[in-house]
């Protein structure tokens, strides 16, 4: 699907100004750290009478001591120092320090890079830092952390200890009620094991979203609500889900062909609920919601089938090609994703690999309503064009988080 959303000149100007101010803040904080390291080396007590540079910064900047200590600890890793005898101590990440002083790196990014370099063998530090910084130019700190994990797995291989838990007697009750407003209420009681597993599942799905669409401002309850919705999608997509009346569990949505094409209007959800036509358009791509497309006289024009849009074989091909959500910066694996039609099937788009991309529910919805666009590049892989307020050049971006196939084509 191609979006015609164009950012206003005000939005572009605000985004540019925010970028300038953020770079200035980062540069100033990095310079401050370098100054404090120099003060430490010359003697905080001798110069100011304070026992530590953190105490000095706490009073000069009205900053909490823990924050001051974090700033100085970070600065020590990216700036050279001196031993008591005057001999130099090289910085762990000198190139990272230079990039930080230029305002190009956030604190989380600096922390990720220095954390990786602290574990890399000394003879590989320079090349590892160069690779991490090169990736940091177009990626967020979580993507760089994933690259760092791969570097460490290659240079410092280590194994995880097996997890062994003891089962307990289950006590499980669940109440799900639909109110007249269309809002559903959920409550229940679970044994410790079930509660712990549910918490682990929702906690992993409720992580703040990363990627190039901007920060995640959802509250904690909102994140866990979205996580529960994602968990339901995972269960509905499971091939082991029991049958109901000879079919896999599903929800029927009735929508007019005109509303489905335009994305404007209402659709009937199940027996009593409703959803917007825009949401029906999203689910019509690939989900356990079956679209019943109606004509002008409410006659059924097309009743979708569970495998009508994306077959099992085609889904496996998508899994192999995209390796997970293809949106830049998203870590969601294939089992959390849906197949998105680049040209919507309601507009005549074919259901084949050249017109499909794997996306998680959040980024699938984002693509349907934002200025992001997706296309299949000449090498057969999906790439995304950001809105102009993120990048005026609209330089194509890809997701480099997912592990590539263990062989080359």
CA distances from 141 to 135, 147, 148, 359, 385 (A): 10, 10, 10, 21, 20
CA 150 from centroid of its chain's CA atoms? 18
Measured CA to CA, the distance from residue 25 to residue 56 in angstroms comes to 20
Among candidate residues 19, 25, 34, the one with its CA nearest the CA of residue 98: 34
Q: Which two tokens stand for residue 343?
A: 């040209």
CA 54 from centroid of its chain's CA atoms? 34
348 within 8 A of 339, measured Cβ to Cβ: no
Q: Which two tokens stand for residue 217?
A: 């401002």
Among candidate residues 64, 56, 13, the one with its CA nearest the CA of residue 37: 56
Among candidate residues 88, 56, 93, 54, the one with its CA nearest the CA of residue 71: 54
Measured CA to CA, the distance from residue 330 to residue 146 in angstroms comes to 11
Place of tokens 């007697």: 169
- DSSP calls for 306-371: TTTSS-HHHHHHHHHHH-S--STT----GGGEEEEESS-GGGT---SGGGEEEEEHHHHHHHHHSS
**H or E element, residue 254:** strand 251-256
**H or E element, residue 176:** strand 173-178
CA 274 from centroid of its chain's CA atoms? 29
Note the pLDDT of residue 89: 87
| pTM attached to this predicted model | 0.48
CA gyration radius, the chain: 26
Measured CA to CA, the distance from residue 77 to residue 111 in angstroms comes to 9
Residues of the chain with pLDDT under 50: 1-3, 159-160, 162, 167-168, 243-250, 270-272, 286-308, 407-409
Note the pLDDT of residue 163: 53
Measured CA to CA, the distance from residue 34 to residue 21 in angstroms comes to 20
CA 261 from centroid of its chain's CA atoms? 29
Note the pLDDT of residue 301: 40
Note the pLDDT of residue 100: 96
112 within 8 A of 131, measured Cβ to Cβ: no
Note the pLDDT of residue 309: 52
Q: Where do the domains of the chain lie?
A: 24-155, 250-307
Measured CA to CA, the distance from residue 182 to residue 196 in angstroms comes to 30
Q: What is the pLDDT of residues 154-191, one digit of tens each?
A: 887 754 454 555 544 567 888 888 777 778 788 888 87
Note the pLDDT of residue 101: 96
């Amino acid at each position: 699907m191609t979006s015609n959303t164009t950012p206003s000149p005000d939005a572009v100007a605000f985004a540019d100004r925010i970028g300038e101010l953020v770079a200035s803040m980062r540069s100033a904080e990095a310079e401050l750290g370098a100054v404090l390291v120099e003060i430490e080396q010359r003697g905080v007590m001798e110069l100011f009478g304070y026992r530590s540079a953190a105490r000095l910064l706490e009073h000069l900047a009205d900053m909490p001591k823990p924050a001051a200590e974090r700033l100085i600890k970070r600065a020590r890793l990216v700036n050279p120092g001196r031993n008591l005898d005057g001999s130099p101590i090289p910085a762990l990440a000198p190139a990272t320090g230079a990039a930080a002083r230029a305002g190009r790196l956030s604190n989380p990014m600096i922390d990720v890079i220095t954390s990786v370099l602290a574990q890399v063998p000394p003879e590989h530090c320079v090349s590892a830092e160069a690779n991490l910084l090169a990736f940091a130019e177009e990626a967020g700190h979580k993507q760089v952390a994933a690259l760092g994990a791969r570097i460490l797995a290659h240079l410092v291989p280590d194994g995880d200890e097996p997890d062994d838990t003891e089962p307990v007697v289950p006590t499980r009750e669940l109440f799900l009620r639909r109110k007249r407003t269309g809002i559903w209420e959920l409550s229940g009681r679970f044994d410790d094991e079930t509660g712990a597993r549910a918490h682990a599942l929702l906690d992993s799905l409720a992580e703040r979203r990363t990627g190039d669409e901007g920060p995640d401002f959802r509250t904690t309850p909102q994140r866990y609500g979205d996580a529960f919705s994602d968990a339901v999608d995972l269960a509905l997509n499971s091939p082991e889900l029991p049958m109901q009346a000879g079919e896999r569990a599903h929800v029927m949505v009735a929508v007019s062909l005109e509303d489905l094409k335009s994305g404007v209007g209402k659709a009937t959800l199940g027996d009593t609920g409703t959803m917007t036509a825009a949401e029906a358009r999203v689910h019509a791509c690939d989900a356990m919601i079956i679209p019943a497309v109606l004509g002008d006289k409410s006659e059924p024009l097309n009743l979708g089938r569970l495998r009508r849009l994306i077959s099992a074989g085609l889904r496996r091909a998508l899994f192999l090609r995209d390796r997970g959500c293809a949106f830049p910066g998203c870590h969601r694996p294939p089992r959390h994703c849906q197949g998105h039609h680049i040209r919507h099937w309601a507009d005549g788009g074919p259901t084949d690999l050249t017109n499909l991309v794997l996306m998680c529910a959040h980024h699938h919805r984002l693509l349907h309503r934002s200025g992001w666009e997706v296309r299949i590049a000449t090498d057969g892989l999906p790439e995304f064009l950001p809105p102009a307020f993120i990048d005026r050049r609209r330089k194509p971006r890809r997701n480099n988080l997912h592990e590539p196939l263990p062989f080359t084509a």
